Amino acid sequence: MTTLAASAAAFNMNSLPLPHAAARVVPANQRGLAPEMALPIDLKGKVAFVSGMADPNGYGWAITKALAEAGATIIVGVWPPMLKIFQINLRSGKFDEDMKLPDGSMMKIEKIYPQDAVYDTPDDVPEDIATNKRYSGLDGFTISEVAAKVEADYGKIDILVHSIANGPEVTKPLLEVSRAGYLAASSASAFSMVSLVQRFGPLMNPGGAVISLSYFAAEKTIPGYGGGMSSAKAQLESDTRTLAFEAGRKYGIRVNTISAGPLKSRAATAISAKGEKAFIEFALDYSKANAPMAQDLYNTDVGSSACFLLSPLARAITGMTVYVDNGLHSVGMAVDSNSMAESPIVEATRPKVLTPD
């Protein structure tokens, strides 16, 4: 296995979102604690392809569920090393609680495609990956091959969701990241979006929409979010604007990205040295202490926002980075800083606890 491929295999997050997301994943047995809202959006007859979903812990799942609630036909692309366990969990009913929709029905995934968004065509796949036991025997998993399968199966689609991030050296500061690690982060987390739009754009009906997931590290320094991932997210947001123009003119589709507040997923928890407090825990604590809206951020908040952006209700919105982070992106001074301890501003802006009358 090549050094780059080995690194990616060791820390691949194609289906496990990084803290482009820190919010709260709502456990299946605590769904009632999260604000449930009926989405006044009708996506019946629309086909949505979600690239990079493998378990209920990420924003990709929340987006998929919101689209299903709105009536869309759901098809997904799953990273090959996660494919078997994903299929087993679906068949065994392990995901049943997480697949329940507000009306009591179950989210249905019409078709699952193995997909590795690091590779555009079969010629791009190195020998060590092609012969790897987790890939061998799969009938095409590159972006172009999956696009061809989707076209054969459905003809046209209406919605494309990019929920992919991979930073093999994400625990390293930028000063220590290798060229291979930096380029791997950019390839999997940013260029994969370009490649998906290149291959799926021609399959999308006019009026269709694309969404991806970003993180505020694209704009400001977030200590601990390393490995070149901040650069990859900046690329993703820049590419969103360019793709919105080009794909809008060429295919009549919209392209947006959501900059989401922190989500405690398995991959996000891994962004720390063993035994240390995880990066995501710091991100969550900081967000709760400093965001304008002093409330939990749920993965469903991102799911419903994405569903709106992917629906005809947002027909004039494109090229946007939309923040779903309780407003944290707008704050330039940390109110929980020691330097602000004696400031009357801190007391004046302390979150009020609302109690029933």
pLDDT by residue (tens digit) across 197-227? 999 999 999 999 999 999 999 999 999 899 9
The span from the CA of 344 to the CA of 278, in Å, is 32
The span from the CA of 323 to the CA of 308, in Å, is 13
Catalytic residue among 113, 119, 182, 225: 225
Task: Indicate if the pLDDT at residue 8 is higher than 90.
Answer: no
Q: For residue 163, which of 91, 99, 74, 92 has the smallest C-alpha distance? A: 74
Angle at CA of residue 56, ends 298 and 241, nearest 5°: 65
Q: What is the mean pLDDT of the chain?
A: 86
Confidence (pLDDT) at 274: 60
Q: Please, which residues bridge with residue 113 across strands? A: 77
The span from the CA of 205 to the CA of 196, in Å, is 15
Amino acid in the structure at residue 244: A
pLDDT by residue (tens digit) across 62-103? 999 999 999 999 999 999 999 999 999 999 999 999 999 999
Confidence (pLDDT) at 9: 37
Confidence (pLDDT) at 37: 54
Catalytic residue among 113, 182, 215, 298: 215
In sequence order, the 6+-apart residues with CB closer than 8 A to the CB of 328 are: 216, 261, 287, 290, 291, 292
Q: For residue 62, which of 90, 24, 91 has the smallest C-alpha distance? A: 24
Q: Which residue has the tokens 């380029």?
A: 183
pLDDT by residue (tens digit) across 216-255? 999 999 998 999 999 999 999 999 999 999 999 999 999 9
Q: What is the mean pLDDT of residues 147-157?
A: 98
Question: Which is it for the CA torsion 223, 228, 231, 235, positive or negative?
Answer: negative
Residue 201, classed as helix, strand or coil, is helix
Q: For residue 68, which of 304, 254, 309, 255 has the smallest C-alpha distance? A: 304
DSSP 298: B
- The full DSSP string for 61-77 is HHHHHHHHHTT-EEEEE
Confidence (pLDDT) at 22: 43
pLDDT by residue (tens digit) across 285-342? 899 889 999 888 889 999 999 999 999 999 999 999 999 999 999 999 888 887 777 7
Q: Please, which residues bridge with residue 256 across strands? A: 211
Q: For residue 60, which of 44, 81, 77, 46 has the smallest C-alpha distance? A: 77
Q: How confident is the model at residue 284 (pLDDT cuts 50, 70, 90)?
A: confident
Confidence (pLDDT) at 25: 56
Fold for 3-348, please state it: Rossmann fold (3.40.50)
Confidence (pLDDT) at 71: 96
Residue 154 appears among annotated catalytic residues: no
Q: How confident is the model at residue 344 (pLDDT cuts 50, 70, 90)?
A: confident
pLDDT by residue (tens digit) across 19-73? 333 455 555 444 444 555 555 799 999 999 999 988 888 899 999 999 999 999 9
Residue 225 appears among annotated catalytic residues: yes
